[in-house]
Amino acid sequence: MSETAFYTKDLSVFYGEKQAIKKISMDFAAREVIALIGPSGCGKSTFLRSLNRMNDLIAGVRIEGEIWIGGRNINHPGTDVVRLRQNIGMVWQRANPFHKSIYENIVFGPRYHGIRDKRKLDEIVERCLRKTALWDEVKDRLNGSALALSGGQQQRLCIARSLAVQPSILLMDEPASALDPVSTAKIEELIAELKKEYCIVIVTHNMYQAARVSDRTGFFLMGDLVEYDNTQKIFTNPSNRSTDDYISGRFG
């Protein structure tokens, strides 16, 4: 594997008294796709959302342990979360474009971070839309509403939007679970393409998807990271019994 992009150490998250994830230690390499799988409620989203401190928004949440990115533990009260989040893109299960035009959706982030030059912004829009294979489909209606796009297009627009602020890590929480097979295939192609530049952590309920797109897979069960290994190994020869049960569909 190439150099480590970031890692967690003994990361625990509590909702009130309830511990949702238990002392998770995981490392993620640059230019790698990591799939997180596991039955519903096992803590995948919780884990993913702590990586960019999005769980801070939830009242009564407590986070323990360390998250090391670029030589710094970001799970620290003094961390500049706003800066941090710029480095970590996020994609949700339901596409959530801003209620603005396609163009505005993409330039929104970069403009806030100081890019005002119209030519530069135009460039960013084209680059991000090309990367997400959306350019040819929308180049004639950049000023049209993002909400007029199909679900799959909206999801790719959301990915394009997150790329526009030049993150190095992308977090995706079931990005294709609300999409039809064709759009899903497009998202998977996209992930394979984006892998050349980004570290991508993806939560999925689709075993085939995990097997297709990821290099390594982590299996979560009731807040524990049961097994974390090369995807191929996990799907052909898991060392843990419950992993085997889960991927062969015997429970969950």
The contact set with Mg ion (CB under 5 A) reads 45
Candidates 156-164, 178-186, 212-220, 239-247 — which segment interacts with another protein by CB under 8 A? Answer: 156-164
End-to-end CA, the chain: 31
Q: Binding string to ligand ATP for residues 56 to 85, with x set by CB under 6 A, is what?
A: --x---------------------------
Candidates 30-38, 128-136, 141-149, 186-194 — which segment interacts with another protein by CB under 8 A? Answer: 141-149
Least Å from the CB of residue 91 to Mg ion: 13
Site for another protein in 17-56 (CB under 8 A): 52, 54
Cβ nearer to ligand ATP, comparing 101 with 209: 209
- State which amino acid sits at residue 167: P
Report DSSP state, residue 115. Answer: -
**Sign for the pseudo-dihedral over CA of 95, 159, 176, 6:** negative
CB under 8 Å, gap of 24 or more: what pairs does 106-115 form? 106/157, 106/160, 106/161, 106/164, 107/164, 108/161, 108/164, 109/161, 109/162, 109/164, 109/165, 110/164, 110/165, 113/86, 113/165
Residue 158 contact among another protein, ligand ATP, Mg ion, none, beta carbon within 5 to 8 Å by kind: another protein
Residue 46 contact among another protein, Mg ion, ligand ATP, none, beta carbon within 5 to 8 Å by kind: ligand ATP
Residues 227 and 234: their CA atoms lie apart, in Å, by: 8
Indicate which single residue of 44, 53, 156, 216 sits in contact with ligand ATP (rule: CB under 6 A): 44
Q: Pick from 54, 146, 116, 60: which is nearest to 91 by CA? A: 54
Q: Are strands 4-15 and 18-29 parallel, antiparallel or unpaired?
A: antiparallel
Helix and strand totals (H; E) in the chain? 10, 10
Candidates 41-49, 101-109, 184-192, 241-249 — which segment interacts with ligand ATP by CB under 6 A? Answer: 41-49
Check: CB of residue 5 under 8 Å from CB of residue 28: yes
Torsion angle of the four alpha carbons 80, 18, 252, 225, in this order, in degrees rounded to the nearest 10? 50
Least Å from the CB of residue 174 to Mg ion: 6
Confirm or reject binding of residue 86 to another protein (CB under 8 A). yes
What is the binding site for ligand ATP (CB under 6 A)? 15, 20, 38, 40-46, 58
What is the binding site for another protein (CB under 8 A)? 52, 54, 57, 59, 82-90, 92, 94, 96-101, 104, 108-109, 112-113, 143-148, 158, 161-162, 164-165
